[in-house]
Amino acid sequence: MSGETVVFACLDADTLGGIQRVTHTLAQGLAGRGYDVHVLGLHRAARPFRYVEQPGYRRHVINRFPSGRLSWSAAHRERHRLRGLLRTLGSGFAVLSSPGVVSRLKDVMPSRLLPIGQYHGSYEHARGSWHLRSAGRDYGKLEKAVFLSEEDAWSFSEHALLPNACAIPNPLPGWPSRTSPLTRHRVLGVGRLEGVKRFDRLITAFAEARRTAGDDWELHLIGEGAELGRLRAHACERGVARHVVFRGALPAAEMGREYLDGAIAALSSEHEGLPLVLAEAASYGVPSVAFDVSGGVRSLVVHGETGLLAPAADVPALTAALTGLMASHEERRRLGAAARAHVETLRPERIIDRWESLFEQVLR
């Protein structure tokens, strides 16, 4: 199988985000096994982020402007550039990372590149947007449709009538040799400071939990985004301005140290696919509390065994979960050890094995 071409196509391949991180991890892993790998971004990232210091793959950007609505002439130029690039590549596979990417590449794909669709969101999120309709229309025509959990794959198979649905979770970027002692009183929230992440709810829950668990606890929010000012004001209103630390975006290479200093990871998003933040935290032995918003979240956080779940948007329940873990080092240790064992299946080499098996299935 090595020597085959693998193209990963994204709307934008170099922004700080989950799709991009997974794309570069898979690209580097497959390049290391001898594949001719290309990462293709339809648009230039407004603020490019480097995921791999020495990539073993090639990168391409089709449109030299950030993503947005294309004019007719821009769409025409895009198709011309895509055809020109793709005809230079050998035979193999094209992994298309979203419904939008599938719709823009499906008519320019040469027959020697077999298309595989990915969906990085959850079925719950797709059902509330145009994604479910688009997946039902386009993904069934591809060689395979890859979802993040068995639960999501089953739901898309049943409700979008996709006979080619399967599940491959996203890989961890690596496997740490050390774990957190869980003694530093720090809750971690990692992600873009945007409305969908609902860090305001996490700040509210944290402020209430501190009243019971102790005033030496801090909440560290790692990321940047448009909600920074509003979140600072919210922390001030809740009386925890000095205990909520806004760290900004950190290089990927520095995140290991953050997990080693963490005691709890918290997820307060409105929707998620398979949030790698929780998986990465687990690999360092850090347990999580999270809103139960998707099959991907449930596949990572087994309630009471590897972490704690709260019903979606239920801030009092999230507060109770946080309070319990903040108050008990023993419980953090118990859940953190189980969480690390649970995510061993996401070690990068194991996920690359599953992608190679999928390629073999497609060629049969």
pLDDT (0 to 100) of residue 150: 93
114 and 232 part of one domain:
no
pLDDT at 1: 59
Task: Please indicate, yes or no, whether residues 90 and 67 belong to a single structural domain of this protein.
Answer: yes
- Shared domain check, 339 and 191: yes
Say how many CA atoms lie within 13 Å of 234 toward its Cβ.
17
252 part of a folded domain = yes
Residue 181 falls inside a structural domain: no
Give residue 17's pLDDT. 82
Backbone dihedral angles phi then psi of residue 116, each to the nearest 5 degrees: -125, 125
d(CA 10, CA 19): 8
Q: For residue 214, which phi and psi values (nearest 5 degrees)? A: 130, 145
Residues 288 and 145 in one domain: no
Using an 8 Å Cβ cutoff, are 281 and 259 in contact?
yes
Q: Does residue 178 lie in a domain region?
A: no
Same domain for 129 and 208: no
Do both 190 and 132 map to the same domain?
Answer: no
Q: Residue 155 belongs to what domain range?
A: 5-171+347-363
Residue 31: Cβ within 10 Å count: 20
CATH of the domain at 98: 3.40.50.2000
Is 180 inside any structural domain?
Answer: no
**Six token digits for residue 62:** 């089709």
Q: What is residue 2's predicted lDDT score, i.e. its pLDDT?
A: 64
Residue 271: CA count within 13 A, CB half-sphere: 11
Same domain, residue pair 275 and 316? yes
Going residue by residue through the chain (364 aa), what tens digit of pLDDT does each one get?
568 999 999 999 998 788 999 999 999 999 999 999 999 999 999 888 888 889 999 999 999 888 888 899 999 999 999 999 999 999 999 999 999 999 999 999 999 999 999 999 999 889 988 999 999 999 999 999 999 999 999 999 999 989 999 999 999 989 999 999 999 999 999 999 999 999 999 999 999 999 999 889 999 999 999 999 999 999 999 999 999 999 998 988 899 999 999 999 999 999 898 899 999 999 999 999 999 999 889 999 999 999 999 999 999 999 999 999 999 999 999 999 999 999 999 999 999 999 999 999 999 8
Is residue 234 in some structural domain?
Answer: yes
153 and 281 in a single domain? The answer is: no
Q: What is the pTM of this model?
A: 0.87
Separation in Å, CA 351 to CA 196, 221, 360 = 28, 29, 14
Look at residue 179 and tell me if it is in a domain. no
**Do residue 247 and residue 103 come from a single domain?**
no
Burial class (CB in 10 A: 0-12, 13-18, 19+), 158: exposed
- Tell me if 235 is assigned to some domain: yes
Q: Taking a C-beta distance cutoff of 8 angstroms, is the pair 197, 268 a contact? A: yes
Nearest to 108, CA basis, from 134, 135, 79: 79
Q: Give domain status of residue 82, yes or no.
A: yes
DSSP bridge partners of 291: 310
State whether 205 and 307 are in the same domain: yes
The Cα 24–Cα 346 span in angstroms is 15
Report the C-alpha gap between 147 and 273 in whole angstroms.
9
Domain count, the chain: 2
